[in-house]
Amino acid sequence: MMAEERLETETPPEKQPPRPERSEQPIVGVRFQEGGKIYSFLPGSWTDLVPGDFVVVDTAWGRQIGRVVFIRHLPPEKRRDDLKTVLRRATGADLALRQQWEEKAGEILRQLRERARRESLPVKFATAEYTLDGKRLTILYEMEGKVDLEEIRQELAETLQVQVEMRQIGPRDRAKLLGGYGACGEPRCCSRFLSDFSPVSIRMGKAQGISLTPSDITGMCGRLRCCIAYEYEVYQEALQELPKLKSIVRTPRGVGKVVDLAPLKRTVIVQIEDQRIEVPADEVEVLPRDFPVCAPQEDE
């Protein structure tokens, strides 16, 4: 009888409730410098983190303090188990310690720049940064030419009794670290929100009708301004709906040649004899290239 009752209360295997799927995985985006690259970490037991919190994490360059910029949730199929975990929320003591290391690193950076000036080294030292435990010092520099900095690295390591790493960066990275203002009068985009640099070309400037004078298209870093790439795709889409330059077109005022374009206004500048007129793109008919250009049509 007991066996029968046990059989009645057991759920057949085929009727077992389905196993619940793994829930979404939270990912913490951490940035170590204003406008710097964002790195992903697992929150671990710190599930109450919010953007703006300071956290302590282990990185390839040692233990550092970073700031949380986002919390995202990945679906189970995109789960990441290869990421490092946030160690803890940064305390007031952690932030005070970081400030002490920043002050010491600032003094080292000042001495390096003075040495470069004194010895006429073609090197621009950008930043010096200690890890939170003070065991590692990383120095970023931009070099114009070839100089062996191993001697300087060894001197620093012996004097400071820490591990010293010298890393070369490009002019854009240096401008990003230094900050400042662009030609537009606003703080540099690279120092504010650009985490990565996108390729920028002269072709992008031509498509937008930007002046190609070096002083007009060059940023403080000596490279093409990053903002040239911002609206390029919009101009590309708009240009596809307009006739090409030097096209022969018929307009309500006669036949002429396209000499300029206003993509965002969707208008075409047409040369008809000795006059230039601006015509909406939908009032223009493209003619064969060998079509004779005639005088303006007279009103009936």
Domains recognised in the chain with CATH numbers: 25-90 (no CATH), 95-169 (3.30.300), 174-234 (no CATH), 248-287 (no CATH)
Of 263, 261, 255, residue with least CA distance to 292? 255
How do residues 18-57 score in pLDDT, each as one tens digit? 544 557 899 999 999 877 888 999 999 998 999 999 999 9
Amino acid at 235: Y
Q: What is the 3-state secondary structure (H, E, C) of the chain?
A: CHHHHHHHHCCCHHHCCCCCCCCCEEEEEEECCCCCCEEEEECCCCCCCCCCCEEEEEECCEEEEEEEEEEEEECHHHCCCCCCECCEECCHHHHHHHHHHHHHHHHHHHHHHHHHHHCCCCEEEEEEEECCCCCEEEEEEEECCCCCCHHHHHHHHHHHCCEEEEEECCHHHHHHHHCCECCCCCECHHHHCCCCCCCCCHHHHHHCCCCCCHHHHECCCCCECHHHHCCHHHHHHHHCCCCCCCCEEEECCEEEEEEEEECCCCEEEEEECCEEEEEEHHHCEEECCCCCCCCCCCCC
Structure confidence at residue 212 (pLDDT): 87
How do residues 155-188 score in pLDDT, each as one tens digit? 999 999 999 999 999 888 888 888 888 888 888 8
Structure confidence at residue 98 (pLDDT): 95
Structure confidence at residue 294 (pLDDT): 57
Structure confidence at residue 193 (pLDDT): 80
CB distance 255 to 293 below 8 Å: yes
Is residue 287 scored above 90 in pLDDT?
Answer: no
Structure confidence at residue 15 (pLDDT): 52
Structure confidence at residue 150 (pLDDT): 93
Cα 245 to Cα 138, 191, 225, 281, distances in angstroms: 52, 38, 26, 13
Mean pLDDT score of the chain:
86
**Residue 142, Cβ neighbours under 10 Å: how many?**
19
Q: Looking at residues 272-286, what average pLDDT do you find?
A: 89
Place of tokens 């403080």: 220
Structure confidence at residue 293 (pLDDT): 66
Cα 84 to Cα 59, 62, 66, distances in angstroms: 8, 12, 14
Structure confidence at residue 84 (pLDDT): 94
**Residue 25, Cβ neighbours under 10 Å: how many?**
17
Query: How much of the chain exceeds pLDDT 70, in percent?
Result: 90
**Residue 77, Cβ neighbours under 10 Å: how many?**
7
Q: What is the pTM of this model?
A: 0.68
Q: How far apart are CA 224 and CA 241, in angstroms?
A: 28
Q: Looking at residues 115-140, what average pLDDT do you find?
A: 93
Is residue 297 scored above 50 in pLDDT?
Answer: no
State the first-to-last Cα distance of the chain, in angstroms, to the nearest integer. Answer: 110
Q: What's CA 274's distance to the chain center, in Å?
A: 47
Structure confidence at residue 27 (pLDDT): 94
How do residues 68-113 score in pLDDT, each as one tens digit? 999 999 988 888 888 999 999 999 999 999 999 999 999 999 999 9
Q: Between 56 and 4, where is the model more confident? A: 56
Residue length of the chain: 300
Q: How far apart are CA 175 and CA 39, in angstroms?
A: 21
Per DSSP bridges, beta strands 88-89 and 54-59 are antiparallel
How do residues 135-148 score in pLDDT, each as one tens digit? 999 999 999 878 88
